[in-house]
Structure 1
Amino acid sequence: MFKHFLITRFNLRNPDWTTSKKNKSVLTKEWHDNRFELFTNFCFESVKGQINTNFEWLVYFDTTTPEKFKTIIRDLEKKMPNFIPIFIDGMSLFLPSITSYIAKCSEPYIITSRIDNDDCLGKQYIETVQKQFNRQDFMAVDFIDGYTIQTHPQIKIGKRLDQYNPFISLIEKNNNPKTVWSIRHSHWKREKHVLQLKGERHWASIIHEENKVNEFEGYGDVDVDIMFQNFAISKIWERRIKAEAIPYSKWKFQSFLNRLESYWDYAFRNMKKALGVYKFK
């Protein structure tokens, strides 16, 4: 009835993306070392740990990826049959390549989900997305609750409230499908057909020193033992987080401010949408 594709872009050359948020050059050897460490410890392990494996994971790498990292990619292929690396020549070919790949699918419906290469999914993410399928012509699925983990310079872990986030999925008819990557994730606020699900936490954003935009916006006291029952990451990092995460009592005031800002943003966006401020497509 449907085919489900999880889609990630990794290191595609883009003239508009040359530095990290700290103005460090990207796509260097150092950048690749750091990003592959994040990818293999967090993102890859979390996707490999999905309870529902009825999906294909398309991960887009640049053709200029150094051979050292191509070897790592080949090793990852052996560990996960539905991990499908695709090499293309720069960011301009990203959307055309997705369209071309999905065009081979004969199922009447397509589900596309997105995840960034430095984030991770809860074990039930794919399963829960597919449970929302009801032959919709066009419906985005937005899990607005998640977690966030800061890995540098100190380890913090908190809850996160974020609408139109980088973990959105799109259910649509397989008739020239647009896919979830057709617009920026924040622009789904301009789409009428968005199903927002609150309460369950099926994603975790990773905040690290190379983030271009994101900062730690977590709040609340998280029981990491309970969290890691539903999130698969490398055992090395799971042990490190449990041992080194700053206790909630040490950042309570920051938690209060982050919670206040998160819920204010949530209410403000909902008000703007209700008032018709966003121009629907």
Structure 2
Amino acid sequence: MNPFAHFILTRFNVPLKSVPASAPSGLDEAWLARRFHLFERVCLPSVDQQTEGAFQWLVFMDWATPVAFKEKMAALCVHYDCLRPVYCSQFDEATALAEIRRREAPEKVRITTGLDNDDALHPRMVEHVQELARARLGAVDLAKGFFISFPLGCCECQGRFYLVRDKANPFVSFVSAPECPATVVGADPANLGKLAPVVYRSARPLWCQTIHPDNVSNHRRGLYWPGGRQSAFAYLGNQPAAASDG
């Protein structure tokens, strides 16, 4: 029996609690069309291909999302059992925790994993996270929890792949007892060690950031990786990216 209640958490278009007024609106229909294209091309296949299926994927969307895009998400849910859209007014740890507690079994150890809506996970990411969590269960205080991070990943830009080693990457998992009042949402990847113990594991590249015209904070980085075209992320380089409005 799997001992974990594992949740992948993705903010789609709902604003952060502290979002500046000048930030791009997640309700703009042109932006939503481009973001759904990326979500379906990049993010969704990577979650659907996980070798370990014992998880739920909570995708947080703005209550005010136009009906056409709510219907689009509902149609995706018909085909992808793991997908759970959550409609809310803002995205913060309290919102995520409330949704998790509605769904988790009290006897299971909680895992939360962060995933941006335009990025991808290696097919064995959930499997590796749960393996590491299982190995540490008797050695840590689950009331306080601990983090799991895989520093090695990659980025994809215009069909080319680049290896990236980044201890502060956002593809972090937090493992805790269900009574713990924290999730991965409240964690700054650059300061994990100040919050709880961190287990780092070097493995094959287990995550991929896509670089596209709507990126705000990410940029192309790392060492050119020709092998990316034969990796689990190869599908990202085989399809055209969505066009930008400029």
Q: What is the aligned partner in structure 1 of residue 7 from structure 2? A: 5
Which structure: larger Rg? 1
Higher helix share: 1
Q: Is the 8 A contact 2:15 2:26 kept in 1?
A: no
How many residues end up aligned between the 2 structures? 227
Of the three residues 133, 143, 148, the one matched with 2:150 is 143
Q: Is the 8 A contact 2:27 2:64 kept in 1?
A: no
Give the distance between the partners of 2:26 and 2:95, measured in 1 at CA: 23
Question: Could you say what secondary structure the match of 1:103 adopts?
Answer: helix
Give how far 1:75 is off: 1.2
Aligned residues: percent identity? 26
Alignment of 1:100-179 (within 5 A): 100-104=98-102, 105=104, 106-133=106-133, 134-135=136-137, 136=140, 137=142, 138-151=145-158, 155-179=159-183
Give the distance between the partners of 2:153 and 2:238, measured in 1 at CA: 21
1:61 aligns with 2:61: yes
Q: What is the aligned partner in structure 2 of residue 197 from structure 1? A: 201
Amino acid at match of 2:14: L
Give the distance between the partners of 2:172 and 2:150, measured in 1 at CA: 7
| Structure 2 unmatched ranges of 5 or more | 241-246
Give how far 1:111 is off: 0.6
Give the distance between the partners of 2:66 and 2:75, measured in 1 at CA: 15
Give how far 1:231 is off: 3.5
Q: What is the aligned partner in structure 1 of residue 238 from structure 2? A: 239
Question: Could you say what secondary structure the match of 1:86 adopts?
Answer: strand
Of the three residues 65, 82, 99, the one matched with 2:97 is 99
Give the TM-score of the pair, scaled to structure 2.
0.85
Q: Is the 8 A contact 1:18 1:26 kept in 2?
A: no
Give the TM-score of the pair, scaled to structure 1.
0.75
Give the distance between the partners of 1:186 and 1:37, measured in 2 at CA: 30
Larger deviation, residues 36-45 vs 216-225 = 216-225
Give how far 1:26 is off: 5.2
Alignment of 1:25-40 (within 5 A): 27-40=27-40
Q: Is the 8 A contact 2:27 2:66 kept in 1?
A: no
Q: Is the 8 A contact 1:19 1:212 kept in 2?
A: no
Q: What is the aligned partner in structure 2 of residue 188 from structure 1? A: 192
Give the distance between the partners of 1:212 and 1:17, measured in 2 at CA: 15
Larger deviation, residues 56-65 vs 179-188 = 179-188
Give how far 1:149 is off: 0.5
Q: Is the 8 A contact 2:161 2:229 kept in 1?
A: no
Give the distance between the partners of 1:223 and 1:13, measured in 2 at CA: 37
Question: Could you say what secondary structure the match of 2:149 adopts?
Answer: strand
Question: Could you say what secondary structure the match of 1:35 adopts?
Answer: helix
Give the distance between the partners of 2:85 and 2:93, measured in 1 at CA: 15
Q: Is the 8 A contact 1:114 1:180 kept in 2?
A: yes
Q: What is the aligned partner in structure 2 of residue 49 from structure 1? A: 49
Q: Is the 8 A contact 2:11 2:60 kept in 1?
A: yes
Give how far 1:192 is off: 5.1
Q: Is the 8 A contact 2:7 2:55 kept in 1?
A: yes
Give how far 1:211 is off: 1.1
Q: Is the 8 A contact 1:46 1:232 kept in 2?
A: no
Give how far 1:190 is off: 2.7
Give how far 1:12 is off: 0.9
